A and B are shown apart, each in its own frame.
Chain A
């Protein structure tokens, strides 16, 4: 039973990502991203990472995806964007995809990964909070500086010139 669900989630993630990349219609791409994000949340549940799964749903689906959809729907003529780069060669891209994908899959199948016995599903939120404020304190704090800079950067990049009278 678990295996069937896992395979369904994996297929959902990959198919969703494929539609995002290949669909000509950007609205379809945005909705396919929903499928992909949702299945990834499911994969986190399989890894007994309940908090990360919930965050994935709240932040990625509830926040980022909705923002993307707003962006797509509020942009005029987004479906008729002229691609100015004429160097796109689908044939070469397929070759690259098949070769690199083949190598990766072969390597992943052959490798002896470090594995752990599956843990019984226990709440992880407390442990995560502890880890953030002990072992991973510095990255946690640096991430906040990074977010501040990214926020101000987004405002600067997206600002409109305001003329004062």
Chain B
């Protein structure tokens, strides 16, 4: 669709851009910033969410001469990003890690990352994908180092930048090689060139590896996961929560679209795609998936800092999520999207507990969670919600994480080719039970009779948010039908 015509379908992104500018500008004229800027953020994000849901043409059109596409798949991810940003804005209000005088730019960067993520999920062209990947990354580099005068935070930011720059460089190089053999940068153009003839297998394989390096860094999969624990530990807690959901989902969105549109084609059977690149990338991704979940889970076992533990857990979850990519079927994509819905609820919930605990006790050590359930009624409530989130992350019924994992395993087993990957994933779920259960044990079974644990309080906002997230995690494990219908509609466009 031509540029001017496209504007009509581009309203959510325009609103987000306006929000970024508005936040930066309003910040200039305010002394007391937190409440007005957070209000502006929430209102702006909700308005763009409304625009996302109301934008016509959601049955699949390409905008701006094929640069981005608007379809149920991108709409799904837009909703995920905006909801995440709203929750993280509220989390940031509850956190004292970011000073009030720097709050405006902080919120502006969150809005900019969300804009980048929204565009990344709809990118249909390598140039757009790279540019918006940078738009997602650059504000995150700054956000990771946002705690002023904190060595750990600056180190986190620096590591993030250096790894990020290196993997972006690899990705651009990969894209340039791919352009050299296919002569196109748009995903459909690449697909047509790949299916038309033999453009040199080795170069396609090398460029695919380089592109996977760029995206793999963003979603923190092996062997590009090294930055993740340090960054998650050093960044302000609301940002850690944000990084573990928003940018990761964005990376997955573009990965799925790129692999499903540019490197696969439908061979008649409606629910399946076949790999057309002659380099067998599903096998490559299956190896990465198995390695990622194993490394993440094994390294999580020995962690004593809860943010580091959740960092390794999020690496492991990236491994599980990749199973949905490997399956290369409608069920696989559906499982991936479903898992993102519950992952958003349970992971943000777990980080909200970490944030609440940190603001009360200044500690991120798992050992300090001793007897949390017995400190006060609110402590008990927080401990119970944390238990729900952790059981769901493990994949224990009746929580949402269980249904999500069932879908992922089912998609792999239905594909028949990578049964071993499902076995690795089940073994990994068992390992993960060990370290998640350790936190639950410390909170409930230790310190029952101790006297000097101190009280524990939470703000009404935290309690409300925790209730919503915990109920969401539990309900999505019992009445998953509506979510399943939504994701199957969103996943259908690549198939048939």
Contacts and interface: CB of A to CB of B under 8 A. Distances in A.
B3 A142 contact: no
Contacts, number: 89
Interface in B78-116: 102, 105, 108-109, 112, 115-116
B12 to A, nearest CB: 14
Contacts of B141: 153, 157
B145 A157 contact: yes
Interface in A82-108: 103-104, 106-108
Contacts of A103: 206
Interface in B129-170: 131-132, 134-135, 138-139, 141-142, 145-146, 148-149, 157
Interface in A111-165: 111-114, 134-139, 142-143, 145-146, 148-150, 152-153, 156-157, 161
Nearest to A113: B180
Given A153-B138, A157-B142, A139 B199 contact: no
Contacts of B287: none
B119 interface: yes
B138 A149 contact: yes
A137 B127 CA distance: 12
A77 interface: no
Contacts of B146: 156
A112 to B, nearest CB: 6
A136 B186 CA distance: 12
Interface string B187-201: 000000000000110
A110 B202 contact: yes
Contacts of B148: 161
B200 A138 contact: no
A136 B203 contact: no
B135 A139 contact: no
Question: Binding site of B, secondary structure by majority: helix, strand, loop or mixed?
Answer: helix
B199 A138 contact: no
Contact of A146 (B102, B109, B134, B206): B134
A73 B313 CA distance: 44
Given A110-B202, A114-B183, A135-B65, A152 B24 contact: yes
Contact of B181 (A111, A152, A153): A111
B202 A156 contact: no
B328 interface: no
Nearest to B205: A107
A96 B431 CA distance: 33
A139 B132 CA distance: 9
Contacts of A137: 3, 64-65
B20 interface: yes
10 contacts: A104-B206, A111-B203, A138-B63, A138-B68, A142-B128, A145-B17, A145-B20, A149-B112, A153-B109, A157-B142
Interface of B: 3, 17, 20, 24, 63-65, 67-68, 102, 105, 108-109, 112, 115-116, 119, 125, 127-128, 131-132, 134-135, 138-139, 141-142, 145-146, 148-149, 157, 180-183, 199-200, 202-203, 206
Given A111-B180, A114-B182, A138-B67, 19 more contacts: A103-B206, A107-B200, A107-B203, A108-B203, A114-B180, A114-B199, A135-B65, A138-B128, A145-B17, A145-B112, A145-B115, A146-B138, A149-B20, A150-B138, A152-B105, A152-B108, A156-B102, A156-B105, A156-B146
